[in-house]
Amino acid sequence: MVDLGSTTDPWIGFHFTVEIAGVQQAKFTDCSGLEAKVDVFEYQEGGVNDFVHKLPGRRSFSNVTLKRGVTSSTHLWEWLHRLATKAAKSSEKKNISIVLYDKKGTEVFRWNLINAYPVKWTGPTMQTEQSAVLIESLELAFQEFTIA
């Protein structure tokens, strides 16, 4: 049951880390795509013409995209490459946690992506007229997620 009687201030979204297989990785600057949905199955019952039954169907999750500044580390690219070229692909699936912290640095929320693996890596966009930080992104698919 949802408690609608109490209110709390929302958390700030910039203080988070990403743990891959339990190890905190270099800070990511962006995390998007945390989404779960339940498909709706419509059932038209014979003899009932004034409405259609709407029943819950399968649950699904969108892919999550992580972005960070480019460093000398190539481990994100190598993870995708191993998955695409290795016969034993199940060993490349990892549990990933996206951990949110409050202003004091205390963990307040954790999204756990179960059996995650990379499906897309995007390298930086480079332009000679700009001096911006180069960003790489990694898109992850996963089996399910839990919230702690």
**Mean of the per-residue pLDDT values for the chain?**
85
The more confidently predicted of residues 22 and 3 is 22
pLDDT digits (tens, 9 = 90+) for 88-116: 566 789 999 999 888 888 888 899 999 99
Domain 16-43+52-147 in CATH 2.30.110.20: yes
**Which of 68-77, 97-106, 134-143 shows the lowest mean pLDDT across its residues?**
68-77
Break the chain into its structural domains and give their ranges.
16-43+52-147
The more confidently predicted of residues 60 and 102 is 60
pTM of the model: 0.78
For the chain, report the end-to-end CA distance as a whole number of angstroms: 17
